[in-house]
Amino acid sequence: MELTAVRQALDFGELMREHQAMVFSVLWHFLHDRDLAEELAQDVFLSLHKNLAAIETPAHAGFWLRKVAVQRAIDAARKRSRRPQVSLEEVAEPSVRPMAGDPMLGGMLRRLIATLPEGPRMAMVLRYQEDMDPADIAETMGIPLGTVKSHIQRSLGLLREKLERRGVGER
């Protein structure tokens, strides 16, 4: 199929329906602020609408949206000019110890991830939300592959340590 034909086939509404959960979730998991995530997700799609002529294929649109969402999330975090709203030590101790598979553990993990510094936090979001491999994460974030691997390993180690300290472990 010729490039122009592919371009004509790109439908903004369809792209929005297909990718809105990805864009919104990257922003929400990274910023831990639902309203801000929604506003920035809208900005990302307005930007896509403006640049639709430069998008070549649906796959290109997905790649482009993810990259712009990552950049907007990092910019917004820098604008807030403070570290995540909760520090690692402030994450509430659950009254009942959650075990693997417990929905309460999911909330606790999201709060713990929100306390990580920018780089490791985004690497973790892309690794476990988007199921991306480290090489793709490095390309999306524009950082070396070694840095991505180190971010993921150190973050996993840190989370494991914090969870163990809270008595959370495998069932």
Partner 1 sequence: MDWLEEELKQALARKEPRDGFDARVRARLQHRPPRWLAVAAAIVVTIGAGEAWQQYRGRQAKEQVMTAMRITASQLTRVQVHLKEIEQ
Q: List interacting residues with partner 1 (CB under 8 A).
A: 13, 16-17, 20-22, 24-25, 28-29, 37-38, 41-42, 45-46, 49, 100-101, 105-107, 109-110, 113, 124-125, 128-129, 131, 156, 159-160, 163, 170
How far, in Å, CA of 11 to CA of 30, rounded?
A: 28
Provide, rounded to whole angstroms, the least separation between the CB of residue 12 and partner 1: 9
Instruction: Look up residue 93 and give its DSSP letter.
Output: P
Provide, rounded to whole angstroms, the least separation between the CB of residue 142 and partner 1: 21
Please identify, using beta-carbon distances, which residue of 24 and 64 lies nearer to partner 1. 24
Provide, rounded to whole angstroms, the least separation between the CB of residue 56 and partner 1: 22
Dihedral (CA of 30, 151, 128, 100) sign: negative
Provide, rounded to whole angstroms, the least separation between the CB of residue 129 and partner 1: 4
Length of the chain: 171
- Whether the Cβ atoms of residue 44 and residue 68 lie closer than 8 Å to each other: yes
Please identify, using beta-carbon distances, which residue of 114 and 138 lies nearer to partner 1. 114
How far, in Å, CA of 31 to CA of 11, rounded?
A: 29
How far, in Å, CA of 146 to CA of 142, rounded?
A: 12
